[in-house]
Structure 1
Amino acid sequence: MDGLDDLRARHLAAIGDAADETALEAARLAALGKKGEVALKMRDLGAMSPEERRTAGPALNALKDEIAAALAARKAALGDAALAERLAAEWLDVTLPPRPRAAGVIHPVSQVTEEVVAIFAEMGFGVKEGPQIESAWHNFDALNIPAEHPSRTEMDTFYMARAEGDDRPRNVLR
């Protein structure tokens, strides 16, 4: 068919010159799209005589396949180039030591406790720690907590065991 070599050369050059995927898609549409030149030539097959169709049909199909293969190869090359560019931009030296982790922060309740202690320290007060085991009198009676109060039950308070015959007030864990 006349002009197939020129058509082939033009479209393969356009595919080779495509710098990005949008230019490649434009080249594909110009060649193989619905209104592309190869598609128009394929439509013209219906108007040809059977002898011309036998020679032009395989030539057009070969041209279509060649352009499709060139498009796929160029698309792969553009994808490889984009990947290489991205990898060069995201380069990372895995032999470097990791960044140090940020130290934790003080719990909000602990922060408030420290602030309250600081305020009272400015007023002249101090923090004193008492014994871990205390008598029931110091823990409840001195604070006017009645004997039937729920905090005095065995479930809520840890009472220390005492010896037989010991009539002193029971000790509790603070």
Structure 2
Amino acid sequence: MTDLTDSLQVALVAKQITIDKDQSAIIRHVSTMNSPTATENSQFVNVFLTREIKLYSGRTHPLSPWLFYNGSAASRIFYQRLFAIIGVTCGSGNGSTTFNIPDFQGRVPVDSLGLRTMKAYDLGLTGGNETHAITANQLPSHSHSPGSVSMSSSGSHSHSINDPGHNHGGYTGESGFLNGNDK
């Protein structure tokens, strides 16, 4: 039934484009990916692209065929289109009838083109930590202009540099706590 619906929808779109062209209208791009379709039990779901990632905040597992990206094994037969695209990039499952889907638990998707994050070249890589404590030795050398720093008596301070925190030894700019000048 779905194939018949898809064929009819394509025929209708093609006919509309032909009519538009015959009437010297501007040809537009038509996407049928967001139109609803009926499943066997008459529930309406949106058409989706294979390997499309959507945010989901429900308390239950999403309806089939949606999967959580949690590294679990999925059927190579039932999800054959997905398997054809990602193969065993994220794990070979049991080696014959299943494959592993990506694991985004505590992770984020990163483009493999390196447009925003460098050194993310291979699909399916895992690594990194959820948190990281940086030490003073890992900070680049920098200076502060006078008036750009506010400091409490305990030595903690804030400034316009994006930095998780470090100790200047009590002196920044022209003001110094070490010499008793706290203005």
Name the TM-score class by shorter chain. under 0.3
Structure with bigger helix share is 1
Largest Rg, 1 or 2: 1
By relative contact order (CA 8 Å, sep 6+), the higher-ranking structure is 1
Structure 2 length-normalised TM: 0.17
Q: TM-score, normalised by structure 1?
A: 0.18
